[in-house]
Structure 1
Amino acid sequence: MFKRVLQRCVKNYCFLITCFLFSHSALAENIELVVKDQYGQQLADAVIELEQINKPYSPAPRSVAIMDQVHKQFLPELLIVQKGQRVNFPNSDNIRHHVYSFSQAKPFQLKLYSGQPKDPITFEQQGVVVLGCNIHDSMVGYIYIASSERVYKTDEQGRIELPLNDFPLQISVWHPLQTESLESKKIITINDKSGLVVTINTSSPSPRNTFGSKFKAGND
């Protein structure tokens, strides 16, 4: 009887040690990546996407994402979705908005409305969609449509922990204020577990030309 109890304790101990080592090993595979601008300032809301080279893309069904409008701002300012995902555009303000995009990935319009639009919009193609409002020119939002299920966003300190296991691995880095075209991504190859610092040249957003002036009367 004592022998069986001892054997069971040894097995449980070995199991716990194995779990600890596996967990420690898994954590050790994480790589910290920091994104900064050309002046050395950390960049929040940089999108990091792990490229799926020669792998078929078969995303699981996802719930409808929300791009709200609150206090004449898009909320969130940057929304990350998967290719084929639907997005709802509720208007939580007490004024009407006219949401539109001329972006190649998904041109569309939601003409003057308040409350809840009739249907969500499906974003079928990967890319970046810039949102505007033809009533309020200061409203700018972004929808990043990912082609990989492994996509992340840097925090307020411009940092992200990437769970990487295989090397070399390609990642893409994108930011809404980058000086490169919004359709461009910075491609980087990761060869080992050492930390990475990525620099993205940025600029202040330029004023946008809209045809919203004719809609503004009585709506502000």
Structure 2
Amino acid sequence: MAWLGIVTKYMAALGLLLFSCFISAADITLKVTDQHGQPLVNSVVELLGQNNQAVAGDLPVLIMDQIDKHFSPTLLVAQQGQQVNFPNSDNIRHHVYSFSKAKPFQLKLYSGQPEQPVEFENDGIVVLGCNIHDSMVGYIYIASSPYTYQSDANGIVRIEQSRLPVKISLWHPLQSQPLEEKALLSITENAVSSLAIVIKTDTPAPRNTFGNKFKAENDQ
């Protein structure tokens, strides 16, 4: 089955990764849900073909914290060339790493503040882990477009009508399809102003943790 479907008053899903539909002159509201009808927070909608005028050096440094053995936030949306700081707000040490093609890196066992932020030069998906606490998983979506949106708790994303016509990509960290894969949707300027989008997701398997084995003497 298609992992992403689109339902409007006038049309149903047309395929796996590429759809087209007609949109009204008003701003477009996308409501993203899973296959059970539950809203999907942290869905990422990127407007493609939109030039990024921002200079990487002018972008603010983003924060991916570590709190209670979790990455906070779970998903961070960054621009290509943007830097991310990885403070450790826990009272135990973490070893942050990624094997992702977009940015392989590691911050070896540390507490407090790392020496410097990490720059993400390439667009793509970065999956974060901790070499000590295997239950820790986080994501950084590195966008090539400045017009990239993250769905709210109700699964809602709004796109300005002035951006139409446009092709967008859709992605979610729990999608059933491979993590690097993005669905594509072409939106024109006519017809309805609201789209219901369904992304098929999987429940992540429980992950183990190494627990106390690698704690330093002053870790608790």
> TM-score, structure 1 length as denominator?
0.80
Aligned residues: CA RMSD:
2.1
**Residue type of the alignment partner of 2:175:** Q
| 2:26 and 2:193 in contact (8 A); partners too | no
| 1:134 and 1:215 in contact (8 A); partners too | no
Matched, 1:143 2:140: yes
Instruction: Tell me what 1:20 maps to.
Output: none
Residues of 2 paired with 1:159 and 1:166: CA distance? 17
Partner-residue secondary structure (3-state), 2:83: strand
Instruction: Tell me what 1:42 maps to.
Output: 39
Residues of 1 paired with 2:87 and 2:114: CA distance? 6
| 1:32 and 1:161 in contact (8 A); partners too | yes
Residues of 2 paired with 1:164 and 1:118: CA distance? 43
Instruction: Give a deviation string over 1:136-194, Cα, whole Å, max 9, x none.
Output: 11111100000100011111110122113254311111100001111111100112352
In the TM superposition, 1:70-219 aligns within 5 A as 70-191=67-188, 192=190, 193-207=192-206, 216-218=214-216
**Residue type of the alignment partner of 1:194:** S
Instruction: Give a deviation string over 1:96-135, Cα, whole Å, max 9, x none.
Output: 0000001000000101000000010000000010001111
Larger helix percent: 1
Residues of 1 paired with 2:104 and 2:212: CA distance? 21
In the TM superposition, 1:22-41 aligns within 5 A as 29-41=26-38
Mark the CA change 1:132 to 1:165 in structure 2 (over 3 Å): closer, same or farther.
Answer: same
Stretches of structure 1 that go unaligned for 5 or more consecutive residues are 1-27
Partner-residue secondary structure (3-state), 1:198: strand
Number of equivalences: 190
Larger radius of gyration: 1
Partner-residue secondary structure (3-state), 1:63: coil
| 2:51 and 2:146 in contact (8 A); partners too | no
* Aligned structure 1 segments of 4 or more residues deviating by more than 4 angstroms: 207-210, 212-215, 217-220
Residues of 1 paired with 2:180 and 2:128: CA distance? 14
**Residue type of the alignment partner of 1:59:** A
Partner-residue secondary structure (3-state), 1:165: helix
Percent identity of equivalent pairs = 54
Larger strand percent: 2
Stretches of structure 2 that go unaligned for 5 or more consecutive residues are 1-24
Deviation at 1:213, TM superposition (A): 8.1
| 1:72 and 1:93 in contact (8 A); partners too | yes
> TM-score, structure 2 length as denominator?
0.80
